[in-house]
Structure 1
Amino acid sequence: MSAPVIVTVTMNPALDITVDAERVGPTDKVRCCADRYDAGGGGLNVARFARALGAPVSAVLTAGGPIGARLVELLDDAIVPNTFIALRGDTRESFTVNERSTGRQYRFVLPGPVLTTDEQQRCLEVIDASATGAAFVVASGSLPPGVPADFYQRIADICRTRQVRLVLDTSGGGLEHITSGVFLLKPSVRELRECVGSPLVTEGEQIAAARHLIDRGVAEVIVVSLGADGALLVTGDRCRRLAPVAVPTVSGVGAGDAMVAGIVVGLSREWGMESAVRYGIAAATAKLQTPGTSTFDRADVDRYLDQVPAPTSVVAQCSDLGL
């Protein structure tokens, strides 16, 4: 069997549980209904979405206890090839409640199991073996307790050695400790703010912060997701603004992962960067209209792709942020 084009890495996966409730409030029991269960965590979402888009993909994940076993079972049911590193601790759960009376969404996220030094080393060995022959490695999501903040940098070093392009979507220490080797970085504005330690109020400041990371050699390309405002595509010599497609939202959970999946699938088809990011926006748009972290229909993504406006050039005076 040939190696998958895309390999995703999820160090801290979760069993995503999504329910509806008429009203969420303190003290009283919140009666829930319409429960659904999905294999979640950034990399697993990307793997499921990439497969829905028809791309050859494989997932690397950690899994521990009955919840971890359930997670692997859900991946198998979704026909997503996977390799899991068995943990002594239990895989976490994430809980989302949709409040019907207001349309609000409440998300509860657990920290995950503590990984031992031996388990971390086993993860790196599996990632190294899985990356061999792949075109892209997508590392996405938070790092679990016990894992050093430079762990994603170690993955970047593996990708450099294997000559595989790394796509990274993370936050906090995992993002702040990346120094080199990322092909494409996809932070949200909030994550970019936290990374550079600046409020980044204006578009020019956001572009300046992204260019600062590119100039430092952290990444070659940065796609800043702006939520309902679309995205900024930033390289060393240009910046493009990409507008969103306005649709009613069922759930925003996993939309960023859908964007990553669309971008990487587009690149795996040898599309240009701007076309790939437009595909990412189309995938995120389709994801907004599905419940929980469930997958979308490929036909919907193709339909929304026709509605994504062409990118526009951004000419901005980038403020000196003192970075």
Structure 2
Amino acid sequence: MKKILCIALNPAIDISSDADVVRHTHKTRTFNQQQFPGGGGVNVARVICELGGQCELMFLSGGATGQLLEAMLRPLSIVGRPFPIHDPVRVAYAVHEQSTNTEYRFVPEGPLVTDAELEPVFEAVAKSDADYIVASGSLPRGVPDETYLRMAEVAATSGAHFILDTSGPALASALARANMFLVKPSLGEFESFLGRKLDHDSVGPAAQNYVREGCVQHIAVTLGADGAVLVSADTIVRVPAISVPVQSAVGAGDSFVAGMIWALAEGHGIDEAFRFGQAAGAAAVMTAGTALCRREDVMELFSRQQE
């Protein structure tokens, strides 16, 4: 299996609970609490290991919550490499309201990170011998929008395949100038980047324009209940959503990315890896809170697509 490096610049402690009813002002009593190490790059690493792969995880860690995050990662088969920061790691919270089957998600912006705290991460990426470098998640406060662009440029010097899953200015900066292997926005993130709405027939051609400009080899756009689209220079492949019982949408996009990268590292082609990603994303919504996907569900859903 080829080597995978995951990067989490804005990790989190993800807490989820259930409640009968969520009401303003009054106390909302919760139950069935779960807590997991989270944030984009952390979730990607968790899923890769769940699928049977191995990866290294570089992440920023500070404060008491950073110590908790590191302790939560230790039992997992992830080679964790924390980089110290002053401010504490954020805590995200999701509440599932059982009476309406509605999920409320509270996601803090994250710690303030200085240039001096971030620089060792760039140095480590430059020395990495990973075949695939996955940068996933939002940027914490104080980190320049061009951070992922710079990482992509560093990865390119070593010949690594750089994969990006982010949104907003960080995505726009990278798509404007970077040379990346794969970018995975959701439909909403891609529309925000373009500044216009897209119907499902126009997603593929719009993404293909950027592929043909040479900034990225592949773009996978997830469409939620309508499936996903994989765009390369000469092809547009669309797969429908896999019908599954929905528990929580938390981590579905991260699972999608992880499924693709795990499959690629195992030697599968891009089209087959795309379907592994779709299966992993669908499997993630079958689990409650921030539990992400289970290997047996991913394999069953992937096999279902082949029928």
**Matching residue of 1:223:** 220
Query: Within the alignment, does 1:253 sit opposite 2:250 as a pair?
Result: yes
1:76-115 CA deviation, whole Å, 9 max, x = no partner?
A: 1223211011110111011100001110000001111111
Which of the residues 66, 86, 89 maps onto 1:88? 86
Cα distance in 2 for partners of 1:166, 1:79 equals 22
Which of the residues 206, 209, 224 maps onto 2:206? 209
Cα distance in 2 for partners of 1:308, 1:42 equals 26
Cα distance in 1 for partners of 2:186, 2:55 equals 24
SS in 1 for 2:289: coil
**Matching residue of 1:128:** 126
Q: Residue 128 of structure 1: CA displacement?
A: 2.3
Contact 2:3 2:55 in 1 (8 A): yes
**Matching residue of 1:159:** 155
> What amino acid does structure 1 have at the position aligned with 2:44?
V
**Matching residue of 2:272:** 275
Query: Within the alignment, does 1:174 sit opposite 2:170 as a pair?
Result: yes
Q: Residue 297 of structure 1: CA displacement?
A: 2.6
Q: Residue 205 of structure 1: CA displacement?
A: 2.2
Contact 1:15 1:67 in 2 (8 A): yes
Number of residue equivalences: 305
Contact 1:20 1:97 in 2 (8 A): yes
Query: Within the alignment, does 1:70 sit opposite 2:68 as a pair?
Result: yes
Q: Residue 204 of structure 1: CA displacement?
A: 3.2
Q: Residue 4 of structure 1: CA displacement?
A: 6.9
Q: Residue 124 of structure 1: CA displacement?
A: 1.2
Which of the residues 139, 143, 157 maps onto 1:143? 139
Q: Residue 36 of structure 1: CA displacement?
A: 0.8
Contact 2:54 2:77 in 1 (8 A): no
**Matching residue of 1:10:** 8
Q: Residue 264 of structure 1: CA displacement?
A: 0.4
Cα distance in 2 for partners of 1:123, 1:272 equals 30
Cα distance in 2 for partners of 1:217, 1:25 equals 50
> What amino acid does structure 2 have at the position aligned with 1:120?
L
**Matching residue of 2:298:** 301
Cα distance in 2 for partners of 1:103, 1:67 equals 30
Contact 2:187 2:221 in 1 (8 A): yes
Q: CA RMSD in A?
A: 1.4
SS in 2 for 1:307: helix
> What amino acid does structure 2 have at the position aligned with 1:246?
S
> What amino acid does structure 2 have at the position aligned with 1:248?
P
> What amino acid does structure 2 have at the position aligned with 1:280?
G
Cα distance in 1 for partners of 2:53, 2:153 equals 25
> What amino acid does structure 1 have at the position aligned with 2:166?
T
SS in 2 for 1:248: coil
Contact 1:281 1:308 in 2 (8 A): no
**Matching residue of 1:286:** 283
TM-score by length of 2: 0.96
Contact 2:2 2:266 in 1 (8 A): no
Cα distance in 2 for partners of 1:56, 1:142 equals 23
Contact 2:256 2:280 in 1 (8 A): yes
- Comparing 204-213 with 47-56, greater Cα deviation is found at 204-213
**Matching residue of 1:317:** none
1:95-147 CA deviation, whole Å, 9 max, x = no partner?
A: 10000111000000111111111012122112223xx2211011000001100
SS in 2 for 1:244: coil
Q: Residue 216 of structure 1: CA displacement?
A: 2.4
- Comparing 269-278 with 144-153, greater Cα deviation is found at 269-278
Cα distance in 1 for partners of 2:282, 2:53 equals 19
> What amino acid does structure 1 have at the position aligned with 2:297?
D
> What amino acid does structure 2 have at the position aligned with 1:26?
H
4+ runs of 1 displaced by more than 4 Å? Answer: none
Cα distance in 1 for partners of 2:2, 2:224 equals 30
1:274-306 CA deviation, whole Å, 9 max, x = no partner?
A: 110111111112111112221433122111111
Contact 1:52 1:295 in 2 (8 A): no
> What amino acid does structure 1 have at the position aligned with 2:57?
A
SS in 1 for 2:300: helix
SS in 2 for 1:77: coil
Structure 1 runs not aligned, ≥5 long: 311-323
